[in-house]
A and B are shown apart, each in its own frame.
Chain A
């Protein structure tokens, strides 16, 4: 998943990042002053079938699209990635190892049971103890959960965790009806009836065909929507077919427009494109444990040989921005004063000589067998050739890619991270020294980086954290565990009759205030 950024889009992204007015992000017609109207079924297309309806067992990105309409997290994100109240009305942190959440009153799960402090504690315990829980790592910093009163809970932390609130904006903060979870057990994976508190209720999931949700008539938030009667999700794996389905009116919303289609779709009056800046970070990990990239100078030779501007323009068609590091422009921690590494063939040559390969060297890049990755690989290959570096391309399916990465069986490997709202999620697990399998595929182990990373978790002050992440970015540009390529935009496309969509950079489509004209 990726996208690219035209100059205009880039300015918009900066606008988002800096908090400038956001009206420009909305598609023209969608901000028309018509009064929202109830009714209708919204037909949404995804690139793949969902995996499970249980947010605590979900390891697949696509599931979250549905979850954000039927479940609700304790806190949510605003357009600028700030944290705003969700099922928790407010929160306070008396000390770095304690987080007290005040819960909203009068919220009911779809099965009629009440949401309260006991329910919240049940959920945290479930995430921590359920054998199949995929959330364990995300809530690892939570030691225990106390019920303070009927509507407030206290999270006792093992260590300071500045990123915890941001983590609670997604699946780790989503509250499931304890009654449903206990009574339905594993069946919850297929049937989420009554399980959530969100603006929509789960109706049915006909595998390989559709997931249907309907309006929650007794939703706690009386402001705005939900307006839609129903939302029907459908998997359409082929991008071209998906787009054509939108153009021919078979669907109303598609989750992602390929960069190659953006220009054409923007010219089509039957389709409205919304550029949603993402949290993603697309890069290539370099294996520090084996030649040639165990030599720092050779890593730098590759980095200086790459022309990111050209890649972003030619491959991503500007549906993204050149990356200066792992933190996307949408984040408060993004440091605009650090430029992406610029192409400099003379420097590249010098580094080659320094690394003992004055006449260049050869290596293999492993990448996913999907069209835009192939295209990017071909362009990189051509750029490196100009610097005297020979790159072979090895195309693999994603299972092989992950296996090669985990086993450090690569020289350079594509890594496309969908991103997390807090910069911690884009950094710590990739650059912290770790034994065994981890997302630190490059195998980088650098005491200075380790110390910086630990510090970012302890410091609560945002400005101070931003400074730490800037320092980190500069070191990463020198040490190069990865060569950073692009922060993509993830454009979504709508039928013009879809109104009221608000793009949040996490890419999730929340339909509470969406209506059909």
Chain B
């Protein structure tokens, strides 16, 4: 109980951070003091000061404005990647759980294959195949996270299928898909939501890691990871290029994690200690 109380104190902090991030993302055009793309080659690598609170980058763009606009990219990246995984994973999981037998075996082996595939290679190759840009990275991340949701959904389907009310519905002659839609999916939703809320944080981190390797968002737009990548060569001369987006990334991911934990505590009775 006490532990939950301790967490309860972190949850509002996390929620605050996430809310702030969402707000910043939505109001970026109003909030950003400068055009995030406006270059000034006469004022590159400027120290943080009154004119530029977080300094300027290697082509003289305002780092703060880019961090603010980058919030959009990072949040959208996290949400879209997880959404892809939730949709694809849930569908595959339902199909596997329902059909059983060979289909189940095939789907689950496919998921095992994805899991044992080095994620970075997958992202690299998909990025190259789908063409440069955020799309490739988001699809790759979606694919990487799909097995988690597929396994979760399949497990849920198998458990719920065995319950009385589902068997009753089936006995009354309801078609399989309807049973699934009416009874199984709503009941399986909780663990999926818990997993999804935890995954968003990691998807944001993963997008940043891939951007750090130069994959993903195409210039001149920036995500936090791509800003850190562009700034790492200037770590000694202008560490603020890295610190600004680095701090934003870290705080947001921490906040999302707290929220994820709180969602889990609220929805998943098993972890209520």
Are A239 and B128 neighbours in the complex by a CB distance under 8 Å?
Answer: no
- Per a CB cutoff under 8 Å, which of A240, A371, A382, A396 touches B230? A371
Q: Would you give the 0/1 interface string for A362-382, flagging 1 where the beta carbon is closer than 8 Å to chain B?
A: 000000011100110111011
A353 at the interface (CB under 8 A from B): no
- Does chain B have a CB within 8 A of A470? no
Q: Shortest CB–CB separation between residue A365 and chain B, in angstroms?
A: 10
Q: Does A446 contact B (CB under 8 A)?
A: no
Inter-subunit contact A395/B219 (CB<8 Å): yes
Judged by a CB distance under 8 angstroms, whether B58 is at the interface is yes
- In the complex formed, the residue of A with least CB distance to B127 is A397
Across the interface, which residues of B come within 8 angstroms of A239, CB to CB?
233
- Residue B243, interface by CB 8 Å: no
Partner of B41, one of A313, A369, A400: A313
- Look across to chain B and name the residue whose beta carbon is closest to the beta carbon of A313: B41
A399 to chain B, nearest CB (A): 8
Residues in A whose Cβ lies below 8 Å from that of B58: 260, 375
Q: How far is the CB of A393 from chain B (nearest CB, A)?
A: 5
Q: Which of B201-233 contact A (CB under 8 A)?
A: 214-215, 218-220, 229-230, 232-233
Say yes or no: B218 contacts A260, CB within 8 Å. Answer: no
Kindly identify which residue among A379, A392, A395 contacts B59, using a CB–CB cutoff of 8 Å: A379
Give bound CA distance, A395 to B237, whole Å.
26
Nearest-Cβ distance from residue A378 to partner chain B, whole angstroms: 5
Q: Contact: A378 with B128, CB < 8 Å?
A: no
Q: State the majority secondary structure of interface residues on B.
A: loop
Q: Is the CB of A374 within 8 A of B233?
A: no
B37 interface residue per 8 A CB criterion: yes
Please determine whether A258 and B59 come into contact, CB atoms closer than 8 angstroms.
no
Interface residues of B in 226-273 (CB under 8 A from A): 229-230, 232-237
* Least distance between B237 CB and chain A CB atoms (Å): 6
A310 touches B232 (CB 8 A): no
The interface bits of chain B over 45-76 (1 if a CB of A lies within 8 angstroms of the residue's CB, else 0) are 00000000000001110000000000000000
Q: Are A264 and B44 in contact (CB under 8 A)?
A: no
Would A382 and B218 count as touching, CB distance under 8 A? Answer: no
B132 touches A264 (CB 8 A): no
Prevailing SS type, chain A contact patch: helix
Contact status B230-A379, CB under 8 Å: no
Say whether A394 faces chain B, with CB atoms less than 8 Å apart: yes
Kindly list chain B residues whose C-beta atoms are within 8 Å of the C-beta of A382: 37, 39, 59, 220
Partner of B233, one of A260, A393, A395, A397: A260
Q: How far is the CA of A375 from the CA of B229 in the complex (A)?
A: 12
Contact, CB under 8 Å: B128 / A381: no
With CB as the reference atom, state the residue of chain A lying closest to B236.
Answer: A264
A379 / chain B contacts, CB cutoff of 8 Å: 39, 41, 59
Kindly state the separation between the CA atoms of A377 and B233 in the bound complex, as whole angstroms: 17
- Report the Cα distance A277→B214, complex, angstroms: 29
Chain A, Cβ-Cβ closest to B232: A240
Chain A residues with CB under 8 A of B44: 314
Tell me the complex Cα distance, A102–B164, Å.
98
Give how many A residues have a beta carbon under 8 Å from the other chain's beta carbons: 27
Minimum CB distance partner of A264 in chain B: B237
The 8 A CB mask of A300-315 against B (1 = contact, 0 = none) is: 0000000000100111
User: Nearest chain-A residue to B38 (Cβ)?
Assistant: A382
Partner of A369, one of B59, B131, B214, B237: B214
- Residue contact A314 to B218, C-beta cutoff 8 Å: no
Chain A residue numbers with a CB within 8 Å of B39 are 378-379, 382
**Nearest Cβ on chain A to B219's Cβ, whole angstroms:** 5
- Interchain nearest-CB distance for A467 vs B (Å): 37
Per-residue interface assignment for chain A, residues 249 to 265, with 1 indicating a CB less than 8 Å from any chain B CB and 0 otherwise: 00000000010110010
- List the A side residues contacting B220 at CB < 8 Å: 378, 381-382, 393
Cβ contacts B124-137/A at 8 Å (1 or 0 each): 00001001100000
Given A264-B237, A313-B41, A382-B37, A400 and B214 contact (CB-CB distance below 8 Å)? no
Closest Cβ neighbor of B238 among chain A residues: A260
A397 touches B218 (CB 8 A): no
Least CB distance, A386 to chain B, in whole angstroms:
11
In B126-153, the 8 Å CB interface with A consists of 128, 131-132
Q: Are A240 and B41 in contact (CB under 8 A)?
A: no
Q: B132 contacts A394, CB within 8 Å?
A: yes
* Contact in complex: B219, A261 (CB < 8 Å): no
Name A374's contact: one of B215, B230, B237 (CB within 8 Å): B230
Chain A positions 301-331 with a Cβ under 8 Å from a chain B Cβ: 310, 313-315
CB distance from B124 to the nearest CB of A (A): 8
With the chains together, A377 CA to B37 CA distance in Å? 13
Q: Which residues of A contact B235 (CB under 8 A)?
A: 240
Task: Give chain B nearest CB distance to A91 CB in angstroms.
Answer: 45
Task: Indicate with 1 or 0, residue by residue over A222-242, a CB within 8 angstroms of chain B CB atoms.
Answer: 000000000000000001100
CA distance A53 to B81 in the complex (A): 45
User: Distance (Å) between the CB of A371 and the closest chain B CB?
Assistant: 6
| Minimum C-beta distance from A118 to chain B (A) | 49
How far apart are the CA atoms of A395 and B229 in the complex, in Å?
A: 14
Residues A260 and B234 in contact in the complex (CB < 8 Å), given A314-B59, A395-B214: yes
- Complex interface: chain B residues within 8 A of A394 (CB): 131-132, 218
* Nearest-Cβ distance from residue A265 to partner chain B, whole angstroms: 10
**Neighbouring B residues of A392 by C-beta, 8 Å:** 218
A346 to B214, CA, bound (A): 37
**Nearest chain B CB to A428 CB, angstrom units:** 32
Least CB distance, B251 to chain A, in whole angstroms: 25
Q: Which residues of A contact B232 (CB under 8 A)?
A: 240
Please name the residue on chain B nearest to A394 by beta carbon. B132
Closest to B131 in A: A394
Interface pair B219/A393, CB less than 8 Å apart: yes
Q: Which residues of B approach A to under 8 Å, CB–CB?
A: 37, 39, 41, 44, 58-60, 128, 131-132, 214-215, 218-220, 229-230, 232-237
Given contacts A378-B39, A397-B128, 12 further A-B contacts (CB under 8 A): A310-B41, A315-B59, A369-B215, A375-B58, A375-B59, A375-B230, A377-B219, A379-B59, A382-B39, A393-B219, A395-B219, A396-B128
